[in-house]
Structure 1
């Protein structure tokens, strides 16, 4: 059953809690979404609040995917550039699909929905995202049309002695 995607959904307590649970579950399953397992929802909550504040201020937008049971199953946040020479592209970040749904093509569906949404944003020609090296994520994003355009070696410290590359990927929308 495909996910149902909504851009800029109303932020209800149920949605907020669903995103928090998703983020916690993805991290604890080994997902590279800004934290390292093990993590609790209370450790992630302040970062989610920062995301929600940025949305309220119009700096970020949210794409959420719900499964057939109506539960939050996927998210991607858009961040708009404020530098006047870079307003033609957006960042895509905190791209997540719940572990129970992985392997069903929902990641590809999420990225396609994100590209469709971004095409509707005024003046946006491309999406950039960064991913943590060492997990093969650049191969997945590459298979979805993104091109690697930059790599900073050892920029992400997952743990002492475990540094990973920060990889920048680009998807032209035109």
Structure 2
């Protein structure tokens, strides 16, 4: 009998794939969109106007209020069909057992008013947000060059002049 050593990272990748495949296959067989499809729909709908914010930036209750009131989405009508609302709402509510679940809902469910956001951006002078290339604290992609991929690592920050 011959054994082949498999690098540890490949074993981890295989384990993740094996874990994800049964729920995706089961969802597709029942006619329910997979998580991958719902994520794509979320990105398609939300990233039309702003980045598709990572779901762990807000607690589930905040996402429920936001998605439940899309006709008044921060001054804009961002209405979607009922099926899309239901799917995206359920996906956003599946917050992992991470920091988002423990976070208090920020005022008006605004990410930029959350305690963690203000702490992370405390050193940014108020006039920086008003620069033409930034315009607003909610324009993450203006400074976080990999925000579209959900990467907010400080190594990838470039603050426009």
Please tell me the TM-score bracket, short chain as reference.
under 0.3
Question: Which structure's residues are more often helix, by fraction?
Answer: 2
Question: Which structure's residues are more often strand, by fraction?
Answer: 1
